[in-house]
Amino acid sequence: MDQSYVTVDSREGPWTLEGSEKGVSRVFLPHEFSPVDSPRACATLEDAARQLEEYFRGDRQVFDVLLDEPPATTFQREVWGALRSLPYGTTATYAEVAALTGRPRAARAVGNANHANPWPVLLPCHRVVASNGIGGYGGGERLKRFLLALEGVVYE
């Protein structure tokens, strides 16, 4: 099935969604090279783009988006499932997410699974923080702070 691309603007730059009728296969962060928008994106991708725009406007807290899951390890899928349970406007530490997967000593592995998350924002890996600070993010600390601030979470 052909992939479509749609770009959504935010104050921190453009986010490009990649996908097909099977679902969103990837979200490109603002700093990443991304393909040019498709002349006619599929309905599934257009719906995901609309929801992402609503999120950036502050009008959406939960995504109802079809995801086209890539090959992944069992642990990555467990972490990504745990991300779905993190409510808007809250954070959890890497250790807390590890505990949600039933592997309380796997905090570092949670960070690696977050880094492999192909759907940033749609699966809120930005809500996972270190026990002693904001922690890492594939888009950088500034972008993570931007996303958390959108949700009312401010880190000093």
154 in helix, strand or coil?
A: coil
Measured between alpha carbons, how far is 122 from 19 in angstroms, rounded to an integer? Answer: 13
CB atoms under 10 Å from CB of 80, counted, come to 21
Token couple for 149 = 């601030």
Q: Which of 98, 125, 143, 147 is catalytic?
A: 125
Measured between alpha carbons, how far is 120 from 134 in angstroms, rounded to an integer? Answer: 16
125 flagged as catalytic: yes
- Name residue, tokens 């995801």: 67
Task: Tell me the sheet residues that pair with 129.
Answer: 93
Residue type, 98: A
Q: CA 85, 87, 108 angle in degrees (round to 5)? A: 60
Write out the catalytic residue numbers: 125
